């Protein structure tokens, strides 16, 4: 269908068809969520996102939802509050 791209198809799979294992690597919210959650310097590239999300299989849609939610969480200033415990998976 003209005008329907990858992002739109992925949102349809996740929210209309309820597919549990969709990782929308082109979604800015998921990119920013990973950047914040994993303390990355800049937005992750699609390959990096796939590597990070590999342990989420077969529920990458749920992981993506949490990345969107991470953007609504206030991050404490350095040295105050709690320390994030999320770790990046080993590359390879």
Q: What is the pLDDT of residues 67-78, one digit of tens each?
A: 999 988 655 555
Burial class (CB in 10 A: 0-12, 13-18, 19+), 64: buried
Active-site amino acid positions: 27
54 secondary structure, DSSP code = G
Q: What is the pLDDT of residue 76?
A: 53
Q: What is the pLDDT of residue 82?
A: 46
21-70 CATH fold: Endonuclease Iii, domain 2 (1.10.1670)
- Give the residue with greater pLDDT, 19 vs 85: 19
Give helix 60-70 / helix 46-53 axis angle, nearest 10°: 110
Domain boundaries, the chain: 21-70
Distance, in Å, from the CA atom of 85 to the CA atom of 40, rounded to the nearest integer, reads 14
């Amino acid at each position: 269908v003209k005008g329907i791209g990858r992002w739109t198809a992925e949102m349809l799979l996740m929210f209309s068809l309820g597919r549990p294992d969709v990782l929308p690597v082109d979604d800015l919210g998921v990119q920013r969520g990973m950047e914040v959650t994993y303390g990355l310097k800049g937005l992750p590239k699609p390959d990096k996102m796939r590597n990070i999300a590999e342990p989420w299989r077969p529920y990458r849609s749920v992981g993506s939802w949490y990345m969107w939610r991470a953007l609504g969480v206030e991050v404490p200033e350095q040295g105050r509050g709690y320390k994030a415990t999320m770790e990046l998976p080993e590359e390879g």
